[in-house]
Amino acid sequence: MKLIKSLTLCALSASFLFASSSLETKAKNSGLKAIPESQLELLKLIDDKNDPITAEKVELGKKLYFEPRMSKSGIISCNTCHNLGLGGTDGVSAAVGHKWTANPHHLNSPTVYNSVFFDAQFWDGRSAHLADQAQGPVQAGPEMAAPKKLVEERINSIPEYIQEFKTAYGDNVKIDFAKITSTIAIFEKTLVTPSRFDDFLNGNANALNEAEKKGLNTFIDKGCVSCHNGIALGGTMQPFEVAAKYSFASVGDFKGDKNGMVKTPTLRNITETAPYFHNGQIWSLSKAVKEMGSTQLGIKISDKEAQEIVTFLKALKGRKPQIIYPQLPESTLSTPKPAFD
């Protein structure tokens, strides 16, 4: 009897491992990719040999990311709209910037976490990489409203920043707007959040529980992977309103790029980044899943199926890098003063 029981348990265990292995293969064949476990392999994906990531650049970039003097008013930083304590977003439907101005197109702030894996930046994909993306919000009137020259004058008026740039890039570094914003981008590259989902794809069959595996299977079978794939589970330009009109299309005037394509948001840390969609009109993740079914896939996703998918999506909440809020260097008498016009 003990032998029969033991053989039965072994058979069940083997069946479980086979099922997990089969799902792992199915997920990979569907275009889903894991964040590599190896730091060396990860660096191959995120680093740039022409401007390599170093500890000095990352620390300086972090300071600039949290630096409110990068804005015209001196009170808005990158972290204002991309709050690293709030999933890399601001938690409101439309981003709010200079002079308490809401985004004129009613656009929602995308998360900065894992943005290094995106093929395109901004909802309309107008920037191909983070260094270029970082320049936009700093200058935009409804955001930080700081002209390039003002940013350069502010940073170059602070001796500690000058020294940190020299330490990071060498004594002959030119501290211009492009160098300042590309340094912010280097810090942003490190904001990678591996999750239990990645552990599963990397071979740990027990990283997801049975309900999460069922949700992953439903996610794949319903066709969600047609847009939410790759390492970012998003971040590529895709047609929007493929099968039906988005329920809140009338909120804001955003229509995508010139071809009507919209950047697919990442699903990583999705439970932390409500409200959803480009104009932030849906707060319930389950409702967002069902909206995607009708709008993009032309199918009705039942409450049960939506809940299964949401159970899987919760497993995409990743392990965040520890971010210690930096102490910023003092202004000097020559530092341009805040302006509110």
Give the domain CATH number at 242. Answer: 1.10.760.10
Residue 196 near residue 315 (C-beta atoms within 8 A): yes
Q: Which residues of 247-260 are buried (b: 16+ CB within 10 A; e: fewer)?
A: ebbebbebebeeee
Q: Check residue 19 and give its pLDDT.
A: 62
Q: What is the pLDDT of residue 2?
A: 44
Three-class DSSP labels, 311-332: HHHHCCCCCCCCCCCCCCCCCC
Residues 181 and 253 in one domain: no
Total domains, the chain: 2
Name the E strands within 87-233: 96-97, 101-102
> Per-residue pLDDT tens for 216-226?
999 999 999 99
The verdict on residue 285 lying in a domain is yes
> Do residue 175 and residue 47 come from a single domain?
yes
Residues 174 and 216 in one domain: no
pLDDT band at 127 (very low <50, low <70, confident <90, very high): confident
In a domain, 252, yes or no: yes
Report phi then psi at 292, rounded to 5. Answer: -65, -40
Q: Which structure tokens are listed for 99?
A: 């002079």
Q: Is the pLDDT higher at 76 or at 4?
A: 76
Note whether residue 47 is domain-resident: yes
| 10 annotated as belonging to a binding site for a ligand | no
Domain assignment present for residue 21? The answer is no
261 is in an annotated binding site: no
Domain boundary residue, one of 136, 167, 189: 189
182 with 278, same domain: the answer is: no
168-222 pLDDT, tens per residue?
999 999 999 999 999 999 999 999 999 999 999 999 999 999 999 999 999 999 9
pLDDT band at 21 (very low <50, low <70, confident <90, very high): confident
Query: In the listed set 189, 222, 237, which residue is the last one of a domain according to the structure?
Result: 189
Known binding residue 224? Answer is: yes
292 is in an annotated binding site: yes
* Domain interval for residue 283: 26-37+194-314
Which run of H or E residues covers position 15?
helix 2-29
Q: Give the H or E element holding residue 288.
A: helix 285-292
Question: 246 vs 128, 235, 255, 277, 291, CA distance in Å?
Answer: 26, 19, 11, 10, 7
Of 142, 170, 189, which residue constitutes the final position of a domain? 189
Segment 101-130 mean pLDDT: 93
* 106 among annotated binding-site residues: no
**Catalytically annotated residues:** 143
